Amino acid sequence: RLEIRHIDRIFGGRKVVDGVTLQVLPGQVTCLLGPSGCGKSTTLRIIAGVDRQDAGEIRIDGQLVCDTVFRLPPERRSVGLMFQDFALFPHLSVAENVAFGLTGPKAARRARVEALLDRVALGRFIDAFPHELSGGEQQRVALARALAPRPKIMLMDEPFSGLDNRLRDEIRDETLQVLKEEGAAVLLVTHEPDEAMRMADEIALMRGGRIVQQGAPYNLYNAPVDRAAAAFFSDIN
Ligand code: ATP
Ligand code: MG
């Protein structure tokens, strides 16, 4: 369970993230949805621990992860990352990529890698290298890699935006299934309303650094908080 409380982030005197408060429950996908520049990636980076906030605190399963004084390093947060530009390591095989964040006995690591690659239907590519895979296949390896250490929280920043339309639908559905099976709390960033409608259990609509509305996709679609929100959802096909 991820709890974000009253997070601010200031760049050049401007509050880019402004009082963001949000909870993400295990086994659920929460979408942080909003237009370009509204502060989505900044929020995600603070949770991941690669940036710091100017106010507020973050907890995972009740444990303090960071406030304005204390910061747990990224690798101790039990957070998995999947970003659009978060590429695989080109010089490592598929198996080595997936095993990258794993510790423990070799046989157990290998078993986890094999199980995950089977799960994303890429078992036959276990000894291949990233350049031998298609974009969609690389994306599935990236998912397996992020999930390998069994993170409590999965952070995804526009992970599907590099894929063509048909492939994107397929990978979204498969990713969703795997995420549900693994049971992580998922925070997915997107600027596409239809992606949020398709994947989210809960949507947090963000604008100008603030969360302006939050709820089930159906509720946001049917009862947008204002005209701008209505316009934002109106071009869903
Ligand atoms: P997009 O959908 O385009 O990815 P976003 O919602 O992820 O947008 P952010 O990347 O969080 O937006 O950026 C929010 C605002 O903060 C932008 O105006 C951006 O220019 C600014 N910003 C982000 N990082 C920095 C930084 N390191 N220094 C200064 N300004 C920054
Ligand atoms: Mg972004």
Centre of ligand 1 from the C-alpha of residue 82, in Å: 18
Is the beta carbon of 20 within 6 A of some atom in ligand 1?
Answer: no
Mutate to test the pocket of ligand 1, among 15, 20, 42 (most ligand atoms within 8 A of CB): 42
Mutate to test the pocket of ligand 1, among 9, 11, 46, 86 (most ligand atoms within 8 A of CB): 11
**Which runs of consecutive H residues, i.e. helices, occur in 183-225?**
193-199, 217-222
Largest CA distance in the chain: 56
Residue 131 reports pLDDT greater than 80: yes
Centre of ligand 1 from the C-alpha of residue 218, in Å: 28
Mutate to test the pocket of ligand 1, among 7, 16, 43, 205 (most ligand atoms within 8 A of CB): 16
Q: Mean pLDDT score of the chain, rounded to an integer?
A: 93
d(CA 177, CA 148): 15
ipTM computed for the complex: 0.98
Residue 86 reports pLDDT greater than 80: no
Residue 72 reports pLDDT greater than 80: yes
The larger pLDDT score, comparing residue 165 to residue 129, is at 129
Region 70-74 average pLDDT: 95
Is the beta carbon of 9 within 6 A of some atom in ligand 1?
Answer: no
Triad 50, 55, 58: Cα angle to 5°: 60
Which listed ligand is nearest to 191 at the C-alpha? 1
Residue with CA closest to ligand 1 atom 23:
42
Residue 237 reports pLDDT greater than 70: no
**Where is average pLDDT lowest: 27-36, 101-110, 129-138, 164-173?**
164-173
Residue 233 reports pLDDT greater than 90: no
The pLDDT value given to residue 160: 86
Q: What is the 3-state secondary structure (H, E, C) of 45-96?
A: HHHHCCCCCCEEEEEECCEEEECCCCECCHHHCCEEEEECCCCCCCCCCHHH
The closest-lying atom of ligand 1 relative to the alpha carbon of residue 43 is: 11
The pLDDT value given to residue 234: 84
